[in-house]
Amino acid sequence: MAATPPIPEILLLLLCIGGVGGFLSGLLGLGGGILFVPALYFSMTAFGVDAGHAMHLAVGTSLAIVFATGSISALSHHKRGAVDTVIVKSWGLFIVSGVLIGAYFASTVDGEVLKSIFATVTFLLSFYMAFGRERKAKQGKQFMTVKIQHAVCVGIGALSSMIGVGGAIITVPMMSYIGMPTPRAIGTGAALGMLISLPGAVEYMLEGLRHVGELPPFSAGYVNLAAVALIIPASMFMAPYGVKASHALPHVLLRRVFAAVMLIVSIKMFRAL
């Protein structure tokens, strides 16, 4: 079993990860997984967690956190009528199928492969966030037929489960592309995030049980329950402050700041390979 790191330091670090992740999530309207995964990975390796399991633990733990925080967001959007249940029903099965495929694939490959995938995706997304233009609600594109949507959803589920995110950074632009108003796309994206994060977290828990003796304390498979318990409250506490700050700053500036953060994370991940 991995050595137990100094308790005060690890508690403080996890609270900081939760607070910063929650603030930036509220600030940018995105799930925290894209931030939690690298923070958890570098923290775990710094405290001596086996490098062969650190990335799997980071991704699985992130999915559990995203499910807990995303559920509250999805419920809030649903109460305001901002969740398109037709899209959720249409896309749900295909997204979950992709999640199971992606999580199983992730469990069979080395952590270096997951790091490569995460670094590549964050690198590409950093350019999208920096230079991509938000579409105004209008008639959907004819190219994006229902069959194509379902095929893309399988890919979204698979990719999201491999990098530990709820998928909103992909599903929201996709819904805007087919003509859904942005506020409704955000609410629907939060609901779809639950369909990604819950089965993904469960799959990582089950797959990680084979290595339980090699994982740090309080790990249920590839989900560290101590990290989940500490990060969630800190994230939920700071998220409203991020939302408040987002209304005081230009959205274009926020996107580019986040793009710079993702680019730095991507470079650090590539250097860690």
CA separation for the pair 233, 221 (Å, rounded): 22
Task: Report the number of distinct structural domains present in the chain.
Answer: 1
Averaged pLDDT of the chain: 85
Q: For residues 268 and 273, what is the distance between their CA atoms, to the nearest angstrom?
A: 9
Q: Is residue 17 part of a domain?
A: yes
Q: Cα–Cα distance between 164 and 180 in angstroms, integer?
A: 25
Our separate counts of H helices and E strands in the chain read 10, 2
Does residue 34 belong to any structural domain of this protein?
yes
Residue predicted with more confidence, 176 or 15: 15
Residue 271, domain member (yes or no): no
The verdict on residue 273 lying in a domain is no
In this predicted structure, the answer to whether residue 100 has a pLDDT above a threshold of 60 is yes
The pLDDT tens digits for 212-246 are 889 998 999 999 999 999 999 998 888 888 777 77
Q: What is the mean pLDDT of residues 246-256?
A: 75
Mark 230-249 as b/e (b = at least 16 C-beta within 10 Å). bbbebbbebbeebeeebeee
| pLDDT value of residue 138 | 52
Q: Looking at the domain assignment, is residue 201 inside a domain?
A: yes
Nearest Cα neighbor of 24 from 266, 271, 270, 260 is 260
Q: Which of 62, 60, 46 is nearest to 2 (CA)?
A: 46
Confidence check: pLDDT of 86 > 80: yes
Q: Is residue 153 part of a domain?
A: yes
Evaluated on CA atoms 126, 132, 134, 138, the torsion sign reads: negative
Residue 97 pLDDT exceeds 70:
yes
Q: Domain of 85? A: 7-266
Sign of CA dihedral 105, 108, 109, 114: positive
Q: What is the mean pLDDT of residues 184-192?
A: 86
pLDDT of residue 98: 97
Lowest mean pLDDT among 8-22, 123-137, 169-183: 123-137
Higher local confidence (pLDDT), 91 or 73? 91
Q: Between these two residues, 187 and 133, which has the higher pLDDT value?
A: 187
- Is 1 a member of any domain? no
User: At a CB cut-off of 8 Å and minimum separation 6, what does 19 contact?
Assistant: 234, 235, 237, 238
Q: Does residue 3 register a pLDDT over 70? A: no
State residue 139 phi and psi, 5-degree precision: -60, 135
Amino acid 72: pLDDT: 79
pLDDT for the residue numbered 203: 95
Does a structural domain hold residue 12?
yes
Give the integer Cα–Cα distance in Å for 171 and 190.
Answer: 9
- Residues 68-84 have pLDDT tens digits of 888 877 887 788 888 99
- The stretch 94-113 carries a mean pLDDT of 93
Helix (H) or strand (E) segment spanning residue 223: strand 223-224
Looking at the predicted structure, is the pLDDT value of residue 108 above 80?
A: yes
What is the pLDDT at residue 106?
A: 92
pLDDT in tens, 118-160: 999 989 988 877 886 655 545 545 567 889 999 999 999 999 9
Main-chain phi, psi angles of 220, to 5 degrees: -105, 90
Residue indicated by tokens 């991704």 = 59
**pLDDT of 167:** 87
Q: What is the mean pLDDT of residues 194-212?
A: 93
User: How far apart are the two ends of the chain, measured CA to CA in Å?
Assistant: 24
**pLDDT score at 169:** 79
